[in-house]
């Protein structure tokens, strides 16, 4: 099942909480969205209300209090940027204000001269976590999977050393188009691909993660409490590169779908 979050009000911002007017949850039913009562992270029942995608405003399929990202989690990606392999997961945060949905534009900031795509598998937390040393137990807090583009101003990242400015601009965290329950998909067996204007750029696989999804979840849980709706970006495979205004970048993960973002000047 593929859950979607959307609004019946086209002007709803992508960062809108679930309590905002017009915001709904549903699931993909053929070529339409079937609305549900409730929340896929909790109790829900289907309704008989259907929407065509063009009738609504698609939103990111989560509403996180925080976005936790893992850096250098694929060997070849670390090597392509001439970085050492980490001994433990490398954590950084992106602000929730950076969220956009599939179809929304990534805005190229005037402060940057190089903005890169980074296609990644995203984990959405389903219930409040507690510290877990066992990776299998920690993974139980994950509700499901989505696509993420961890957009990065590479020149600013190199200049600043730390990642906050380079990864924190508004529109720098594209997420979607849907949320697939963990019980329905093997997160350790997914191809992660990125295309720039239709040309393949990244061709990775989650079996090649340095730190497994359970290990990531365990490590983070011992640092901070994860709340329902929080998002974990699990790292990007090799092949990252620059985007230019006018381009379209697509992150595709098997079993989930395609996250598409046009690039425009701010």
For position 81, what pLDDT does the model report?
72
- For residue 114, pLDDT over 90 is answered with yes
Helix (H) or strand (E) run with residue 170 in it: none
Q: What's the mean pLDDT in 128-145?
A: 98
Task: Dump pLDDT digits (tens) for 151-163.
Answer: 999 999 999 989 9
Q: Which of 175, 201, 142 is nearest to 257 (CA)?
A: 175
Confirm if 174 and 262 have CB atoms less than 8 A apart: no
Containing H/E element for 166? helix 164-168
How confident is the model at residue 84, as a pLDDT?
Answer: 84
Per-residue model confidence as pLDDT tens digits over 5-53? 999 999 999 999 999 999 999 999 999 999 999 999 999 999 999 999 9
Backbone angles phi, psi at 135, to 5 degrees: -60, -40
Domains of the chain: 3-59 (2.30.30), 67-265 (3.90.850.10)
Res 212: pLDDT = 97
Structure-token pair, residue 262 = 């046009």
Q: Is 51 within 8 Å of 8 (Cβ atoms)?
A: yes
Q: Scanning the structure block, which residue is given the tokens 């011992």?
A: 222
CA distance 176 to 62: 9
In Å, how far are 69, 85, 92, 108 from 64, measured between CA atoms?
Answer: 13, 29, 15, 23
In a 3-state reduction of DSSP, which class is residue 89?
A: coil
- In whole angstroms, what is the distance from residue 176 CA to residue 193 CA? 14
Distance CA 215, CA 98 (A): 26
Closest CA to 242 of 196, 192, 176, 198: 196
**pLDDT at position 83:** 77
Residue 78 predicted with pLDDT over 80: no
pTM over 0.95: yes
Q: Is residue 75's pLDDT more than 90?
A: no
β 115-117/241-243 pair status: antiparallel
**Beta pairing, strands 23-29 & 32-38:** antiparallel
Q: What is the DSSP string of 216-256?
A: HHHHHHTTS---TT-EEE----S--EEE-TT-EEEEEETTT
Distance CA 111, CA 108 (A): 9
Task: Give per-residue pLDDT as tens, 233-261.
Answer: 999 999 999 999 999 999 999 999 999 99
Q: Are 92 and 163 in contact (CB under 8 A)?
A: yes
The pLDDT score that the predictor gives to residue 263 is: 98
Segment 173-229, tens digit of pLDDT: 999 999 999 999 999 999 999 999 999 999 999 999 999 999 999 999 999 999 999
- Give CA–CA dist 38/182, Å, rounded: 19
Per the CB < 8 A criterion, the answer to whether 41 and 20 are in contact is no
CA atoms within 13 A on the CB side of 77: 27
């Amino acid at each position: 099942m593929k859950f979607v979050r959307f609004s019946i009000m086209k002007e709803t911002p992508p960062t809108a909480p679930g309590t905002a007017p017009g915001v709904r949850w549903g699931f993909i039913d053929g070529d339409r969205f079937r609305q549900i009562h409730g929340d896929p992270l909790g109790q829900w029942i289907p309704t008989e209300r259907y929407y065509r995608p063009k009738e609504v405003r698609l939103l990111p399929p989560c509403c996180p209090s925080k976005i936790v990202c893992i850096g250098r989690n694929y060997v070849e990606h670390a090597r392509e940027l001439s970085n050492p392999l980490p001994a433990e997961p490398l954590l950084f945060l992106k602000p929730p204000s950076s969220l956009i949905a599939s179809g929304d534009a990534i805005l190229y900031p005037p402060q940057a001269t190089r903005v890169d795509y980074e296609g990644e598998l995203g984990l959405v937390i389903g219930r409040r976590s507690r510290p877990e040393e066992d990776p299998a137990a920690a993974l139980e807090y994950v509700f499901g999977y989505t696509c993420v583009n961890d957009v990065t101003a590479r020149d600013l990242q190199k200049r600043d050393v730390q990642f906050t400015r380079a990864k924190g601009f508004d529109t720098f965290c594209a997420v979607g188009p849907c949320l697939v329950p963990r019980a329905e998909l093997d997160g350790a067996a997914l191809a992660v691909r990125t295309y720039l204007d239709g040309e393949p750029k990244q061709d990775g696989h989650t079996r090649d993660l340095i730190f497994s999804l359970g290990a990531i979840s365990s490590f983070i849980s011992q640092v901070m409490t994860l709340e329902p709706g929080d998002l974990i970006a699990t790292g990007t495979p090799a092949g990252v590169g620059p985007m230019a205004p006018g381009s379209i970048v697509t992150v595709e993960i098997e079993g989930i779908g395609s996250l598409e973002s046009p690039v425009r000047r701010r």
